[in-house]
Amino acid sequence: MRAVVVGGGASGRAIGAAIAARGWTVQVSSRRTGLDVLRDDVAAALEGADVVVEATGRFTTSRRRATGFFVRSTTAIGSAAAAVGARHVLLSIVGCERSEVQGYGYFAGKAAQERAAAATGAALTVVRSTQWHEFAAQNAERFRLGRMALVPGMAVAPVALDSVAGVVGEVVTGTRRGSRFEVAGPQVTTLRAMTEALPALARHVVPMRIPGALGRAFRDGALLPGPDVEIVGPSFDEWAAL
Ligand SMILES: NC(=O)c1ccc[n+]([C@@H]2O[C@H](COP(=O)([O-])OP(=O)(O)OC[C@H]3O[C@@H](n4cnc5c(N)ncnc54)[C@H](OP(=O)(O)O)[C@@H]3O)[C@@H](O)[C@H]2O)c1
């Protein structure tokens, strides 16, 4: 059995390893390996695949740019999956559709992506997670000013990327069947505390206050999981101590 993971970032690599560990043949593809989902023939790249995992990303806070990218990516990948008879597995974010976070363009883009993915005709499973433990490093990289990292006020229940990749691996290989899975980590903390716990990320952690209702929503827990979300370890503290 064969899977293609589209997206060569941290998640694409972790998911590729999780699928290979379960005995499937897997290829991780992205622009770096010659597949641009916005330009190339994605169906040709999926020839012979039983499942395609969409782990593409483009960081932007612009609603127009985020929606443009995520909708185009998922339409191309889902339509190609439908054309070759492959299942489509999409990575998404717990709470991205909540009204109070739609002012953040990235989440509006992810919510639009989920809607577009459902319309391509491919058999779809959405695997949603909360922010990964690795998100502290991604954020510090995105909002770095010299040796300072700007960190927005945000309550989170972070989850280890390897644990999310394991869930995706089970969905791909058929151990888990369903149209949606949601996972979160066991510990509620803040993005600031996560960043401060990893001193290699930045010498100075500078709180960034997001104004208005959106900032309040992030601080007050709009991204925290609801009661039905599956909890998977390790906790952030356990992971950071490794
Ligand atoms: N970060 C989190 O905490 C978190 C939590 C839950 C869900 N997610 C979701 O998980 C997904 C993956 O996140 P990530 O952080 O691994 O992503 P990322 O690092 O932002 O980007 C993933 C990869 O997408 C590839 N890509 C971008 N444009 C492409 C294109 N036109 N064609 C083909 N590949 C393209 C890039 O590889 P190349 O440069 O080689 O093309 C990049 O390495 C995102 O949708 C994100 O929203 C993230």
CA distance 39 to 186: 40
Q: How sure is the predictor about 112, in pLDDT bands with cuts at 50, 70 and 90?
A: very high
Q: Atom 43, ligand 1: which residue's CA is nearest?
A: 9
Q: How sure is the predictor about 203, in pLDDT bands with cuts at 50, 70 and 90?
A: confident
pLDDT digits (tens, 9 = 90+) for 5-31: 999 999 999 999 999 999 999 999 999
pLDDT over 90 at 92, yes or no: yes
pLDDT digits (tens, 9 = 90+) for 27-86: 999 999 999 999 999 999 999 999 999 999 999 999 999 999 999 999 999 999 999 999
State the pLDDT at residue 202: 87
CATH number at residue 110: 3.40.50.720
Q: 122: which residues sit within 8 A by CB, 6+ positions away? A: 78, 79, 81, 82, 86, 87, 88
State the pLDDT at residue 204: 94
CA distance 42 to 36: 8
Q: How sure is the predictor about 232, in pLDDT bands with cuts at 50, 70 and 90?
A: very high
**Mean pLDDT rounded to a whole number for the chain:** 97
Mutational test site, ligand 1, from 6, 15, 27, 30, max ligand atoms within 8 Å of CB = 30
State the pLDDT at residue 233: 98
CA distance 120 to 75: 6
CA distance 184 to 232: 6
Contact 205, 149 (CB under 8 A): yes
58 CA from centroid of ligand 1 (Å): 6
pLDDT over 90 at 193, yes or no: yes
- % pLDDT > 90, the chain: 97
Region 175-189: what's the mean pLDDT?
A: 98
CA nearest neighbour of 96 among 7, 207, 12, 180: 180
What residue ranges line ligand 1, CB within 6 angstroms?
A: 6-12, 30-32, 35-38, 55-59, 91-93, 110, 129, 131-132, 135, 138
Q: Atom 18, ligand 1: which residue's CA is nearest?
A: 57
Region 195-219: what's the mean pLDDT?
A: 95
Atom nearest to 110 CA in ligand 1: 47
State the pLDDT at residue 160: 98
With helix as H, strand as E and coil as C, how does the chain read? CEEEEECCCHHHHHHHHHHHHCCCEEEEECHHHCCCCCCCCHHHHHCCCCEEEECCCCCCCCHHHHHHHHHHHHHHHHHHHHHHCCEEEEEEECCCCCHHHCCCHHHHHHHHHHHHHCCCCCCEEEEEECCECCHHHHHHHHCEECCEEEEECCEECCECHHHHHHHHHHHHHCCCCCCEEEEECCCCEEHHHHHHCCHHHCCEEEEECCCHHHHHHHHHCCCCCCCCCEECCCCHHHHHHC
CA distance 8 to 16: 9
pLDDT digits (tens, 9 = 90+) for 120-158: 999 999 999 999 999 999 999 999 998 899 999 999 999
56 CA from centroid of ligand 1 (Å): 4
- % pLDDT > 70, the chain: 100
49 CA from centroid of ligand 1 (Å): 20
Count of the separate structural domains present in the chain: 1
Range of the domain at 193: 2-241
CA distance 58 to 127: 18
230 CA from centroid of ligand 1 (Å): 23
Mutational test site, ligand 1, from 11, 107, 129, 195, max ligand atoms within 8 Å of CB = 11
